[in-house]
Each structure stands twice: as structure tokens, then as C-alpha cells.
């Protein structure tokens, strides 16, 4: 498989896990409306349990589908599930960390934080998945370049579909 396609294939569960809470989210906020010691919300209303678990499930399902499409890439269904789960979990935890940082910087919900929004989830996903399967440095660099473009494109699409209130 071409290295650039392999990088994209590898990270697909993370991309789906990152984007699906926009559609599946809502309901009870993860921070239950509580504030941090600085008086600001810990995460905000945009991070919900339904979105978190929805993203985790969608990302993991993507990994299972990938296994059945290209089993030789993973070696076993168990590895595919574990990798997809860890990529998805890392993505969502990275996004939560980003929201926590944005609240500390007094950035309102939905406000763009260039770099943090695009690379935070990616770097966390790669770190979580590292013990199971990793990709070469060149592929990581490719993902660091292409992820902001995909992220911005996905946000514009979600905005035009009415899933997001702002196009960033």
C-alpha cells in the first residue's frame, strides 16, 4: 500500500471518532456543568457523554469495517479492534484536553484554536495507539500536514449541513 494511503487508512478511526460527536452528541455534559477553580466551566456544554461514547463506538466500528476490507493490514480482528478503540479513545481524550485548555484561556465554546483543534486530537490518538501499532515518521508528518485541511473541510461541511453553528 502507498505510504500516504496507509497513513490515511491508519488514522481513519480517529477521524471518524473526532467528527461523529457533532452529529451524535448532546445531552449531559461530561463536566456536569461544574466549574474549575478559576470559575470557568471545566469543559463546557459541547463535550457530552453521548458524543464521547458515540465517537468511541463509531471509531471502533470503522476499525472493524477496515479489518474486513483489508485484514492483512492488521493481522487479526482483535488487533484491529484494539487499534481502532485506542485511536478513537485518544482522539476523544485529546479533544477533551483541548477543550479544557480553551476554557482556561477563556475561549468561548466553538471558538477556533488553530493548532490545538487540529493537532491535539491527532497527537493524542497516535500516543494512545502507539503500543499496538505505529506508523513511520514520514507518515506521521504527512498526517500533521493533511489533518488541518481535513479538519477544516469537515467543519465547513458540518456547518453547511446544519450540524454546527459555525464553520470552524
Pair 118, 167: CB distance under 8 Å: no
Residue 165 lies in a domain: no
Residue 168 lies in a domain: no
HSE-up of 105 (CA within 13 Å, CB side)?
13
Better-scored residue on pLDDT, 116 or 140: 140
The structural domain count of the chain equals 1
pLDDT of residue 157 exceeding 90 = no
Residue 26 lies in a domain: yes
Residue 12 lies in a domain: yes
pTM: 0.90
Q: pLDDT tens digit string along 7-64?
A: 999 999 999 999 999 899 999 999 999 999 999 999 999 999 999 999 999 999 999 9
> CA 6 from chain center: how many Å?
18
Residue 139 lies in a domain: yes
Give the domain range for residue 79.
Answer: 3-160
Residue 153 lies in a domain: yes
Residue 120 lies in a domain: yes
pLDDT of residue 77 exceeding 80 = yes
Q: How many percent of the chain have pLDDT more than 90?
A: 79
Residue 76 lies in a domain: yes
Give the Å distances, CA to CA, from 103 to 61, 91, 106, 166.
31, 18, 5, 18
Better-scored residue on pLDDT, 167 or 129: 129
> Residue 154: what pLDDT?
84
SS3 sequence of 50-93 = HHHHHHHHHHHHHHHHHHHHCHHHHCCHHHHHHHHHHHHHHHHH
How high is the mean pLDDT of the chain?
A: 93
State how far the Cα of 129 lies from the Cα of 132, in Å rounded to an integer. 6
Q: Could you tell me which of 57, 58, 74 has the C-alpha nearest to residue 66?
A: 74
Q: Could you tell me which of 82, 91, 97 has the C-alpha nearest to residue 11?
A: 91
Amino acid at each position: 500500500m502507498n505510504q500516504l494511503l496507509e497513513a490515511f487508512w491508519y488514522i481513519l478511526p480517529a477521524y471518524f471518532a473526532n467528527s461523529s460527536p457533532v452529529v451524535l452528541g448532546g445531552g449531559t455534559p461530561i463536566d456536569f456543568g461544574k466549574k474549575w477553580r478559576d470559575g470557568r466551566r471545566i469543559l463546557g456544554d459541547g463535550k457530552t457523554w453521548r458524543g464521547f461514547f458515540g465517537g468511541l463506538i463509531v471509531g471502533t466500528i470503522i476499525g472493524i469495517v477496515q479489518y474486513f476490507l483489508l485484514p492483512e493490514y492488521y493481522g487479526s480482528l482483535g488487533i484491529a479492534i484494539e487499534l481502532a478503540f485506542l485511536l478513537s479513545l485518544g482522539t476523544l481524550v485529546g479533544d477533551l484536553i483541548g477543550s479544557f485548555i480553551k476554557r482556561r484561556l477563556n475561549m468561548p465554546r466553538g471558538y477556533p484554536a488553530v493548532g490545538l483543534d487540529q493537532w491535539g486530537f491527532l497527537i493524542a490518538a497516535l500516543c494512545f495507539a502507539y503500543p499496538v501499532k505505529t506508523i513511520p515518521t514520514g507518515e506521521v508528518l504527512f498526517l500533521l500536514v493533511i489533518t488541518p485541511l481535513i479538519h477544516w473541510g469537515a467543519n465547513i461541511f458540518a456547518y453547511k449541513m446544519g450540524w454546527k453553528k459555525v464553520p470552524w
